[in-house]
């Protein structure tokens, strides 16, 4: 491969602007050498880098040049103007293509045509624009016909070009061209475009030009260079098109990256039956199986396959029609996969039996495929385990947990039709026929299945809202399939037994449905059913719950293999937030190494306890309260015994009661209504009196700002009898198990501490009651007393708090709330607004805010360690299960993260990736 160094000097040839030191705005590739390679993705975009790399590898690629992403950045910086010197460098680059192709751009004898295609560093399937056949004019189209001896092909290319250029560059709606085309097909009585005659195509060209004139009041440009200039501008502008912007928000791609523009000599897949175009994956992107997999259309051009307009044929068709080109394609994919050591997505065109590669990039895949490909490639010796671990995103791993249809119910359901299975899992929901309806229905709280003829990048908001999508046309590489795979949505495509009747109704199989009716879609088999089939747990969860033999589940084997590798490298431990023995068992099944947070209040909501709890709260004296607490104690003890047993010796952190007491009582407004109703109807006086008393107590406990009221350690401080009951339950459970010979190390955690005095007051109580319990049992147990760190004051006085606390666990839910002053229960209302307005990059309740909350955490860590070197540090806010926050926790040097049981596997992988990346940085 040619190095970037050589590239830069070589690229200076023939460009006066560059020679004067102006930046390099074009990177040529062709004739076996390129000014770039796969290591220049940031500058050349994925497509440009791939084309350059393939050229360097000696693979047959049409010559072309890439205008780098830096030009796009500059284009926007200068207010939508080409950067200085850029256009000047286009001409010499174009000459090099002309020389290589022995053709001339705009020439009536040997006309060169080019494609102008976007390509950013992250793949954004179909979100930006591409213009093919640039350079076709009234003169060059004649030259093209003469040169190829194929008038039909020349006219077909010309009508395609006018429609594409007219819509993308000149803004005429694409549907208007389609309407004219469909009208023509009807008029002459044909079904396929390939059945149109030269004269029909010629008429279409005229009608299309007329349409452009009417719609834009401008004549369709007939100068090749002007077309090129306009096409480049359109592609640069499409970076900021609505689709691209929405997609970037969804995928977290920065606006600042910009797109590259690739100008490539056209090769033609529409030159007859030995020509064609296609896309392929070197392995199955849905399952990860090692099968070369692709689709093609004979006598078709460029975007026809990806756009899903005609359902493509399998590659076997290509092998039959053009066996030599197919053999070369197979050899090429093998060479490329060995070279890139990854599953690739390829685009190719065959022009009269000769293969040309138009794109190679790392292929999008489902999570199921990602793990399979990564583990297979380790076995095949292509990559190392560390690399395999970096190849699977934590979210992709999460796809292993997607629900599947209940097999019994699926067997009973009414089968409608079958399409191609393109996205994992199972989805049942109400039919939406437009993306707008999908969004509305989602907002109304419905599960939605979006049904479309085919999806286009304009549908992206509806696809985001839907749990699954189903399309009539398009293959495994159509827009719906590619996007579905990437979003991890259930997706079935190419279901030709569907007919969208109008905007409200659709026929699926033999049955007609209205928007809002239920259907069920199986993304693994491609089957579609009527009704709302209940889902059941994924294979992984079935194994964890003991309902499926791990050896019988291939998915479980893959899942556990990659996680075992993760465990070998990660430094962070992963615990779970679990409140019940059942949750604790699931957490263990997912590999949790202890409980990082047991919210004891959740234990009081159970049916047999809430009444006792309410009576305890209603009690007016300490003695009365103790009476009810004594009833709660054995129940809590049983819970803790269950947790300890499930955790089999791993640490269990139990937090004392945290929420304000009124949360356990009925709502004030409901009680007021009850009282008023009883008063009006003259209901039983005993009942009325009870309600009045309850209301009076609720009013007494009412707080204007309960999140900052009597909660956390303030409860235990003002009502020490609550702390006493809980400590006794924790320690009695531990003592009883100790007597069975089990080692239990409870970690007793005090919530919402802001001052060392609070910590000391609660710790003294804990110690007193723990000792009293151990004395009663005649057993000594090692236990720790620590605190949640969830207030800014706790962070800045952590050195003082650590004099009393033996461990810290960051409660980043409250710490985020109190640092920002955003109510964690209400902030959703404005956070979206903040994100759209770019006031916030991410929701700080989902992804840890490193700048603010993170700084406070750092301060707390320094303070804690100063007083108590080696103090145990963890996190138990929701961020403990968010991959990017896990990376931050690794960087902070925490001992563990604690998250929901279902996120444990994701956190294990994220922690491993953080460790590997750190190791790589240090190298």
Nearest to 451 by CA among 399, 498, 392, 418: 498
Which residue has the closest beta carbon to Mg ion?
814
Query: Which is closer to ligand PEP, CB of 364 or CB of 879?
Result: 879
Task: Report d(CA 123, CA 126) in Å as an integer.
Answer: 9
Task: Spot the catalytic one: 202, 479, 662, 879.
Answer: 479
Task: Spot the catalytic one: 417, 495, 876, 899.
Answer: 876
Residue 812 CB, nearest distance to ligand PEP (Å)?
A: 5
Nearest to 619 by CA among 528, 560, 701: 701
Task: Report d(CA 577, CA 810) in Å as an integer.
Answer: 13
For β-strands 448-452 and 527-530, DSSP reports them as unpaired
Query: Which is closer to ligand PEP, CB of 599 or CB of 645?
Result: 599
Inter-CA distances, 792 with 322, 821, 852, Å: 70, 11, 10
Residue with tokens 């900021």: 240
**812 touches, from ligand PEP, Mg ion, none (C-beta below 5 to 8 Å by class):** ligand PEP
Residue 729 CB, nearest distance to ligand PEP (Å)?
A: 19
Q: What is the CA radius of gyration of the chain?
A: 33
Task: Report d(CA 166, CA 176) in Å as an integer.
Answer: 10
Residue with tokens 């029909």: 200
Biggest distance spanned by C-alpha atoms of the chain: 104
Query: Which is closer to ligand PEP, CB of 358 or CB of 886?
Result: 886
Residue 597 CB, nearest distance to ligand PEP (Å)?
A: 6
Half-sphere exposure at residue 22, Cβ-oriented, CA atoms within 13 angstroms: 19
Residue 598 CB, nearest distance to ligand PEP (Å)?
A: 11
Cα of 274 vs its chain's centroid, Å: 40
Query: Which is closer to Mg ion, CB of 711 or CB of 728?
Result: 711
- Give SS3 for 270: coil
User: What are the structure tokens assigned to 210, written together?
Assistant: 């007329």
Residue 711 CB, nearest distance to ligand PEP (Å)?
A: 9
**597 touches, from ligand PEP, Mg ion, none (C-beta below 5 to 8 Å by class):** ligand PEP
Task: Pick the stretch among 94-102, 734-742, 758-766, 786-794 that binds Mg ion (CB under 5 A).
Answer: 786-794
Residue 654 CB, nearest distance to ligand PEP (Å)?
A: 13
For residue 133, which phi and psi values (nearest 5 degrees)? 65, 25
The contact set with ligand PEP (CB under 6 A) reads 597, 599, 658, 790, 811-814, 876-877
Hey, which residues does 490 pair with through a beta bridge? 468
For residue 521, which phi and psi values (nearest 5 degrees)? -125, 125
Hey, which residues does 750 pair with through a beta bridge? 787
Query: Which of 258, 312, 435, 811 touches Mg ion (CB under 5 A)?
Result: 811
Residue 570 CB, nearest distance to ligand PEP (Å)?
A: 22
Query: Which is closer to Mg ion, CB of 515 or CB of 814?
Result: 814
Q: Is 386 a catalytic residue?
A: no
Query: Which is closer to ligand PEP, CB of 238 or CB of 898?
Result: 898
The answer to whether residue 814 forms part of the interface with Mg ion (CB under 5 A) is yes
**877 touches, from ligand PEP, Mg ion, none (C-beta below 5 to 8 Å by class):** ligand PEP
Inter-CA distances, 793 with 326, 797, 857, Å: 69, 6, 11
Q: Is 339 a catalytic residue?
A: no
Task: Report d(CA 273, CA 275) in Å as an integer.
Answer: 5
Query: Which is closer to ligand PEP, CB of 278 or CB of 881?
Result: 881
Query: Which is closer to Mg ion, CB of 310 or CB of 599?
Result: 599
Residue 800 CB, nearest distance to ligand PEP (Å)?
A: 21
**876 touches, from ligand PEP, Mg ion, none (C-beta below 5 to 8 Å by class):** ligand PEP
Sign of torsion over alpha carbons 342, 347, 350, 356: negative
**599 touches, from ligand PEP, Mg ion, none (C-beta below 5 to 8 Å by class):** ligand PEP
Half-sphere exposure at residue 135, Cβ-oriented, CA atoms within 13 angstroms: 26
901's CB contacts (< 8 A; 6+ apart) are 576, 577, 578, 583, 584, 586, 587, 590, 592
User: What are the structure tokens assigned to 163, written together?
Assistant: 């429609």
Task: Report d(CA 564, CA 746) in Å as an integer.
Answer: 27
Q: Which residues bind Mg ion (CB under 5 A)?
A: 790, 811, 814
Point out the residues that are catalytic.
479, 876
């Amino acid at each position: 491969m040619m190095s970037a160094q050589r590239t830069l000097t070589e690229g200076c040839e023939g460009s006066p602007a560059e020679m004067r030191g102006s930046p390099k705005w074009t990177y040529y590739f062709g004739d076996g050498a390129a000014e770039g390679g796969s290591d220049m993705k940031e500058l050349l975009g994925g497509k440009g880098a791939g084309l350059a790399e393939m050229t360097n590898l000696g693979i047959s690629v049409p010559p072309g040049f890439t205008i780098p992403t830096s030009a796009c950045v500059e284009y926007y910086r200068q207010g939508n103007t080409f950067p200085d010197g850029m256009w000047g460098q286009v001409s010499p680059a174009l000459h090099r293509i002309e020389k290589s192709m022995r053709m001339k751009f705009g020439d009536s004898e040997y006309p060169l045509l080019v494609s102008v295609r976007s390509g950013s560093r992250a793949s954004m399937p179909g979100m930006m624009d591409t213009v093919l056949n640039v350079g076709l004019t009234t003169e060059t189209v004649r030259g093209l016909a003469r040169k190829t001896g194929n008038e039909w092909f020349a006219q077909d290319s010309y009508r395609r070009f006018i429609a594409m250029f007219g819509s993308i560059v000149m803004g005429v709606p694409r549907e208007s061209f389609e309407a004219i085309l469909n009208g023509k097909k009807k008029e002459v009585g044909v079904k396929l475009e390939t059945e149109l005659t030269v004269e029909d195509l010629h008429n279409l060209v005229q009608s299309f030009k007329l349409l452009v004139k009417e719609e834009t009041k401008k004549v369709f440009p007939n100068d090749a260079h002007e077309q090129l200039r306009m096409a480049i501008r359109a592609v640069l502008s499409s970076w900021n098109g609505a689709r691209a912007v929405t997609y970037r928000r969804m995928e977290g791609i920065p606006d600042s990256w910009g797109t590259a523009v690739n100008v490539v000599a056209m090769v033609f897949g529409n030159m007859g039956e030995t020509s064609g175009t296609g896309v392929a994956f070197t392995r199955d992107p849905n399952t990860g199986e090692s099968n070369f997999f692709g689709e093609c259309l004979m006598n078709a051009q460029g975007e026809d396959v990806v756009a899903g307009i005609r359902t493509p044929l399998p590659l076997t068709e290509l092998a039959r029609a053009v066996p030599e080109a197919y053999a070369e394609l197979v050899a090429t994919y093998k060479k490329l996969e060995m070279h890139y050591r990854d599953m690739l997505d390829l685009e190719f065109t065959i022009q009269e039996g000769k293969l040309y590669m138009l794109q190679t990039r790392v292929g999008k895949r489902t999570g199921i495929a990602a793990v399979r490909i990564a583990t297979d490639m380790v076995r095949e010796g292509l990559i190392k385990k560390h690399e395999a671990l970096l190849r699977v995103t934590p979210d992709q791993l999460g796809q292993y947990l997607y629900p599947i249809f209940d097999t019994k119910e699926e067997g009973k359901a009414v089968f409608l039709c079958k399409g191609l299975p393109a996205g994992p899992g199972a989805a049942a929901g109400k039919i939406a026929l437009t993306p707008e309806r999908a969004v509305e229905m989602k907002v109304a709280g419905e599960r939605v299945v979006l049904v479309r003829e085919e999806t286009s990048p304009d549908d992206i908001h509806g696809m985001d809202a839907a749990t699954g999508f189903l399309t009539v046309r398009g293959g495994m590489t159509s827009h719906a399939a590619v996007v579905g795979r990437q979003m991890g949505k259930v997706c079935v495509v190419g279901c030709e037994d569907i007919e969208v009747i109008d905007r409200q109704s659709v026929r699926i199989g033999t049955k007609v449905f209205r928007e809002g009716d239920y259907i069920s879609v199986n993304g693994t088999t491609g089957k579609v059913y009527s009704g709302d089939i209940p889902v059941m747990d994924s294979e992984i969860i079935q194994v964890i719950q003991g309902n499926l033999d791990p050896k019988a589940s291939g998915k479980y084997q893959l899942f556990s293999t990659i996680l075992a590798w993760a465990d070998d490298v990660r430094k962070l431990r992963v615990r779970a937030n679990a409140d019940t023995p059942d949750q604790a068992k699931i957490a263990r099944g997912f590999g949790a190494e202890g409980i990082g947070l047991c919210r004891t209040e959740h234990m009081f909501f159970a049916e047999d306890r809430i009444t006792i709890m309410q009576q305890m709260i209603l009690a007016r004296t300490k003695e009365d309260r103790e009476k009810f607490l004594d009833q709660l104690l054995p129940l809590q003890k049983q819970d803790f015994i269950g947790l300890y047993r499930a955790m089999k010796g791993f640490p269990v952190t139990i937090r004392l009661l945290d929420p304000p007491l009124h949360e356990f009582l009925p709502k004030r407004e409901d009680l007021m209504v009850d009282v008023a109703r009883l008063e009006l109807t003259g209901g039983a006086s005993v009942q009325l009196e009870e309600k009045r008393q309850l209301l009076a107590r609720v009013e007494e406990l009412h707080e204007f700002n309960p999140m900052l009221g009597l909660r956390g350690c303030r409860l235990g401080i003002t009502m020490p009898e609550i702390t006493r009951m809980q400590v006794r339950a924790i320690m009695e459970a531990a003592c009883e198990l100790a007597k069975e010979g089990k080692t239990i190390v409870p970690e007793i955690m005090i919530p919402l501490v802001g001052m060392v005095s609070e910590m000391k007051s609660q710790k003294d109580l804990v110690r007193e009651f723990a000792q009293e319990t151990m004395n009663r049992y005649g057993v000594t147990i090692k236990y720790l007393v620590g605190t949640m760190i969830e207030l800014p004051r706790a962070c800045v006085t952590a050195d003082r708090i650590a004099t009393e606390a033996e461990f810290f666990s960051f409660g980043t839910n409250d710490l985020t709330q109190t640092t920002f002053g955003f109510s964690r229960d209400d902030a959703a209302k404005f956070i979206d607004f903040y994100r759209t307005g770019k006031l916030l990059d991410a929701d700080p309740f989902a992804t840890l805010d490193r700048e603010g909350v993170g700084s406070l955490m750092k301060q707390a860590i320094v303070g804690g360690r100063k007083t108590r070197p080696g103090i145990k540090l963890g996190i138990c806010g929701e961020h403990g299960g968010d991959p990017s926050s896990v990376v931050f926790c690794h960087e902070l040097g925490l001992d563990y993260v604690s998250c929901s049981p279902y996120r444990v596997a994701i956190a294990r992988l994220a922690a491993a990736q953080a460790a590997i990346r750190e190791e790589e940085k240090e190298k």
